[in-house]
Structure 1
């Protein structure tokens, strides 16, 4: 009876769950980010070493995200005052200023809506989940990491750039695509289109696999 099974958490290419939450930059809602891309990411706890390395990495790359019309928003199931103390500690001990807001999700409302709570890992802490939300509020990508392995901020940046480039150029991206690499041309949808593909000027290996430069 699979018809009765309800999915847990958000789903790709559907509206991201709305939220209205206190942050270190005041109250924030999903609607506040309309017209911009948003990288929403959770961490298990303040004042923990792996999370500290991730926040430092996000902070160092924030200008690059800003240049891509993208805002950063952190989250953990910690208090507002814990977030403030941690931010000050990172600046004092590591010399890095955290300029993006952090949601204080003590009620776990946002974490539950986004499926950040994974009972196999913890019932009281959010795993290392990352969500990329587009300017229309649609969830475009989500990546989960375990508690004991830090995520790659460079990969999140690369994924965001690939999504934006694919949207702009109506194409798909090959494995580990980076600027300057060729992109994948959409696959023909009819036998007639497939037969014509070789003569269309792309770098065609076979009718279903063609690439082009941007």
Structure 2
């Protein structure tokens, strides 16, 4: 039974919730990112130290995301005036320019649609949520961190590369996979396919259900 504090979460491999929101780069909608991968990430508040370290890290990695046809889009339940002031402060104090837009979500409409507000953490701030959305607008991954601990931008970058590889080649990737390493071939569905799999020189098989190959 749902209660007042129930958080409605979007679901993997379904359409990401649409949004039409003001940002530091003008209004943005989900449709604006069609044909590109999108990393949408929320932070609890502007002018806070942990969030500042994350934004500096995302800014420094922005070119690497761009090389992967991936856009960055931040969000917090602050005004766009606050976002602008904070971005200017980061540039002044840390020497880092924030190149991506930040959604101003004072109505909490986007935060609630994406399940970013967790009453157990705060009723008025978004937790550290990250959503990776593919070029067709389908939600492919979700990551949640508590307010006290910053997320790893390097891991998010790695996950985008992993998802893109899985999508392109129809494979899975093992723990902490990185480009250049072998990928996992989906297990065979029949006994005949299993027998053929272990005899295929293209694959490196530990057993019939566990085979890797290069891509």
Hey, what does 1:116 align to over in structure 2?
Answer: 116
> d(CA) in 1 for partners of 2:97 and 2:186?
43
Is there any run of 5+ residues in structure 1 with no aligned partner, and where?
none
Is there any run of 5+ residues in structure 2 with no aligned partner, and where?
none
Please tell me whether residue 18 in structure 1 is matched to residue 27 in structure 2. no
Show structure 1 runs of 4+ deviating over 4 A: none
Question: How many residues are paired up?
Answer: 211
Hey, what does 1:204 align to over in structure 2?
Answer: 205
Hey, what does 1:107 align to over in structure 2?
Answer: 107
Hey, what does 2:84 align to over in structure 1?
Answer: 84
Please tell me whether residue 163 in structure 1 is matched to residue 156 in structure 2. no
Hey, what does 1:185 align to over in structure 2?
Answer: 185
Query: Over the residues paired in the alignment, what is the CA RMSD in angstroms?
Result: 1.4
What CA deviation, in whole Å up to 9, does each residue of 1:129-159 have, x standing for no partner? 0000000000000000000000000000000
> d(CA) in 1 for partners of 2:145 and 2:7?
20
CA apart distance, 1:169 = 1.3
> d(CA) in 2 for partners of 1:24 and 1:103?
7
Structure 1 residues 7, 77: CA separation in 2 closer, same or farther (over 3 Å shift)?
closer
Alignment TM-score, normalising by the size of structure 1: 0.96
Please tell me whether residue 61 in structure 1 is matched to residue 61 in structure 2. yes
What CA deviation, in whole Å up to 9, does each residue of 1:150-202 have, x standing for no partner? 00000000000000011111110000000121100110011111122111121
The answer to whether the 8 Å contact 2:172/2:183 transfers is yes
CA apart distance, 1:47 = 0.1
> d(CA) in 1 for partners of 2:154 and 2:32?
25
> d(CA) in 2 for partners of 1:138 and 1:78?
26
> d(CA) in 2 for partners of 1:98 and 1:29?
20
CA apart distance, 1:7 = 7.9
CA apart distance, 1:54 = 0.1
Q: Which of 55-64 and 162-171 deviates more?
A: 162-171
> d(CA) in 2 for partners of 1:127 and 1:154?
19
Q: Say which SS state the counterpart of residue 61 (structure 1) adopts.
A: helix
Hey, what does 1:98 align to over in structure 2?
Answer: 98
